[in-house]
């Protein structure tokens, strides 16, 4: 799963702790246009992409495709981007990461079972994809 351009734009705004109005002012849009882009109602123009990349020092490859480092060198892995934008998600991610890195295989197995119980309907196996 990867983020879309509108989700990366929203991430940038939240990462820099900006309101939609503040973000709109620096990239040359109205607050309503920022809201529409973030909701996915429409795509950002190339001018918006360029001005955003220039102002925040981002690569267009990261903003458009999610490849390479994002703001402050953050890699473009989906979970890292979403975790940075949402503190509760970051906490859940960190807990799961710590459980899975624990050397005790019983603890890792327990974590996997609990994860599947809680999120089984969201887990797609390779068999279901085919």
**Which of 119 and 128 is assigned the larger pLDDT?**
119
Any idea which of 6-20, 45-59, 62-76, 96-110 has the lowest mean pLDDT? 62-76
Q: For 15-25, what is each residue's pLDDT tens digit?
A: 889 999 999 99
Q: CA 7 from chain center: how many Å?
A: 7
Total-model pTM? 0.56
Indicate the angle between helix axes 31-39 and 20-27, nearest 10 degrees. 110
Q: Is 108 exposed, middle or buried (0-12, 13-18, 19+ CB in 10 A)?
A: middle
What are the helix (H) ranges across 76-125?
A: 78-85, 87-101, 105-119
């Amino acid at each position: 799963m990867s983020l879309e351009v509108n989700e990366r734009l929203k991430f940038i705004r939240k990462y820099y702790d900006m309101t939609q109005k503040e973000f709109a002012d620096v990239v040359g849009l109205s607050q309503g246009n920022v809201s529409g882009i973030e909701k996915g109602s429409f795509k950002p123009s190339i001018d918006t992409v360029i001005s955003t990349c220039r102002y925040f020092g981002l690569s267009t490859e990261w903003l458009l495709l999610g490849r390479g480092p994002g703001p402050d060198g953050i890699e473009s892995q989906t979970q890292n981007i979403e975790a940075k934008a949402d503190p509760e998600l970051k906490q859940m991610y960190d807990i799961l990461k710590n459980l899975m890195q624990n050397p005790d295989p019983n603890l890792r197995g327990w974590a996997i079972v609990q994860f599947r119980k809680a999120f089984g309907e969201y887990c797609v196996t390779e068999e279901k994809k085919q």
